[in-house]
Amino acid sequence: MLSLHNPTRPPISLSALEARRIAAAASLVPAGATTPQSILTRVGLIQLDALARVDRAHRLTGLARLPGNARAPEIDATLWSRGEAVSFETHTHAAALIPVEDWPLFRLNRMSATQRRDAPSAAELEGVTALIRESNHGLTLARIEETAPRSGGRWDWSECKRITEHLVWRGDIVSTDRRLNRRIYDVPERRIPEPLLNRTLSRSQILIGLANRAIDALGVATASDVAHYYNLTPADAAYGLEHGHAIPTRVEGWSAPTWTSPVSELLTTPQSPDPRLIGPFDPLIRDRDRARRVFNFDYTFEAYKPAAKRIYGHYVLGVILGSEFIGRADVRREGRTLIVNALFPEPGTNAAHFRAAASAAAETLASQLALTTSVRC
């Protein structure tokens, strides 16, 4: 998890193309993984989101990295566990799934959550914790709401949700299991392996560990990229990079100090010729500034914009071929059909070549989701 800084390492130089290829290979895109768990282990963080116009965000992230014969239900079955945890949910800058081995690296986050001004009262926190502790296998939020006190002596659903979320952020309870896509909340001593639960890292060890995690997931990154990845301050990200195993790097066209993962195979991993659709919360593009710098791909999520103000569509996926984003597709799921509403090639991309690649990517995703495809443009 941790490495000592080696100040004698000379910086390496990369072209913009090499940096882009390293970033894609580090993220296992496209089709660079064999199992959902191997994806979570490599990328370290999978963002969660409730929108399902095509499918849930974490499934899109997984399917873009898995073979074409992978199936969506395999994602959830592997990333969550009914018994001892393989992952846990928390909040960085958004809801995210983290590999359980990184539990010690989030101690500072949990400590920070205990100091939030909007924290529920101690009595409210203990009330929900006691309900969960007294259960046999954890509780869903709906079950907590049925049992917990409500207003006028008991709490309503939204209040139960607020209290439960605070407890998750604090680590007093954990969400490591889902049933029918509903979170199961339990106490950490029943889910987190004891060696991880009881391991206490120093602040320095945590910052180095998170920076090592981020640079291996990103392949090549600035301190700002690493800070965004785990919602760190720029100073903390820079400290972790400077004292961790990242290699100082110069990238053509990048002005900020840059670092590269020491995992040497990233430099030579061949890119798959298999085009894929990349979701809006995928690790490759969820940091919009980095997506522009690394991939020259300017992505805006337009789902919450009024229809008249959208440029591309309600739920637009990037189309990646090798390590290059060659365009985007406005896609929706309707019944048992994956519908492609519109296709938009990137400037300079051959339109016919892009259409063939985007159609193939849509066919792959549809097959993984057990759907048929309809291209209506």
In a domain, 334, yes or no: yes
- Which residues have CB under 8 Å from 43's CB, separation 6+? 27, 28, 61, 217, 283
Residue-wise pLDDT tens digits, 310-349: 999 999 999 999 999 999 999 999 999 999 999 999 999 9
The residue among 144, 171, 192 that closes a domain is 192
**pTM (two decimals):** 0.92
Q: Partners of 16 in the beta sheet?
A: none
Number of compact structural domains in the chain = 2
pLDDT for 177: 97
Which residues of the chain register pLDDT less than 50?
1-6, 151-153
Structural domain includes residue 120: yes
Residue 296 in any domain: the answer is: yes
User: What local confidence, expressed as pLDDT, does residue 13 receive?
Assistant: 93
Q: Is residue 79 part of a domain?
A: no
In a domain, 214, yes or no: no
Indicate whether 259 belongs to any domain: no
Q: Any idea which residue has 């001004």 for tokens? A: 117
Phi, psi of 360 (to 5 degrees): -65, -40
pLDDT at 1: 44
Q: For the chain, what is the total number of helices (H) and then of strands (E)?
A: 15, 14
Q: How far apart are CA 270 and CA 327, in angstroms?
A: 21
Confidence at residue 149, expressed as pLDDT on a 0 to 100 scale = 63
| CATH number of the domain residue 183 falls in | 1.10.10.10
**Residue 62 lies inside a defined structural domain of this protein:** no
Burial (CB count <10 Å: 0-12, 13-18, 19+), residue 25 = buried
In a domain, 53, yes or no: no
321: containing domain = 276-375
* Contact in structure between 314 and 331 (CB atoms under 8 Å): no
The residue out of 192, 223, 246 marking a domain boundary is 192
Domain-ending residue, one of 175, 192, 209: 192
Give, in order, the Cα–Cα distances in Å from 323 to each of 32, 91, 270, 350: 12, 29, 10, 16
